[in-house]
Amino acid sequence: MGMTIVEKILARASSQKKVSPGDLAVVDVDTAVMLDTNFQPALRREILKVHDPEKIVLIYDHLVPAPDRDAADAQAMGRAFVKKHGIKRFHDVGPEQGINHVVVSERGYGLPGTVLVCSDSHACAAGATNCAGRGTGFPDLLHAVTTGKTWFRIGGTVSYDRSGRLGPHVTAKDVFLHIAGTFGDHANLNVEYGGPA
């Protein structure tokens, strides 16, 4: 059997001909999405050098507007980080700001066939554009920002082929939530959707 789209992306990004579930892949990261929360006091680290400022996006979305002094200080530190490292893809508080997953999609930061990491667990939403988007812990995100690499254990793939039509007032999200409620959250697995519906 051939590789799934996620396996193909991670094989390309790790310079391997083939990867399979259970394999470990050290991959080149195409986009690292940082958030305002990455500059909170408990996570603060002095980053002396980034691997490639063109591959970094900083989006303020979790603490907007800043609810307290720590959040305001985190935003100020993020602005200093952007200036120090020449990060051009910065979405500060204001009209360029929004929910990071939406900004990623609208701005084309998660392109088909690429690897995207973010410290938000919903980074997998980039999969809607055939991007291997993965949520990572903050240490792994820092590693990606400073070295341009991260690692993944290749997960298995679950495929759903949908047929029929959606009923009145039923959306794709209702279908996905029904699948999750019936079959579980598929943690550490890849999910592919197909079929005429």
The pLDDT value given to residue 28: 98
Listed residue (14, 21, 75) closest to 190, CA to CA: 21
- Shared-domain flag, residues 31 and 84: yes
Q: Does the pLDDT of residue 1 top 80, yes or no? A: no
Residues with Cβ < 8 Å from 18, sequence gap 6 or more? 3, 7, 11
AA identity, residue 167? G
Range of the domain at 63: 5-154
- Shared-domain flag, residues 162 and 147: no
d(CA 140, CA 34): 12
pTM: 0.88
- Shared-domain flag, residues 170 and 107: no
Instruction: Express each pLDDT in 146-184 by its tens digit.
Output: 999 999 999 988 888 888 888 899 988 898 888 889 998
* Total domains in the fold of the chain: 2
Around Cβ 79, how many Cβ atoms within 10 Å? 17
- Shared-domain flag, residues 128 and 57: yes
Query: In the structure, how many helices (H) and strands (E) does the chain have?
Result: 5, 9
Instruction: Express each pLDDT in 85-138 by its tens digit.
Output: 999 999 999 988 889 999 999 999 999 999 999 998 888 888 888 999 999 989
- Shared-domain flag, residues 44 and 104: yes
Q: Can you give the CATH number for the domain in which 125 is found?
A: 3.30.499.10
- Shared-domain flag, residues 47 and 79: yes
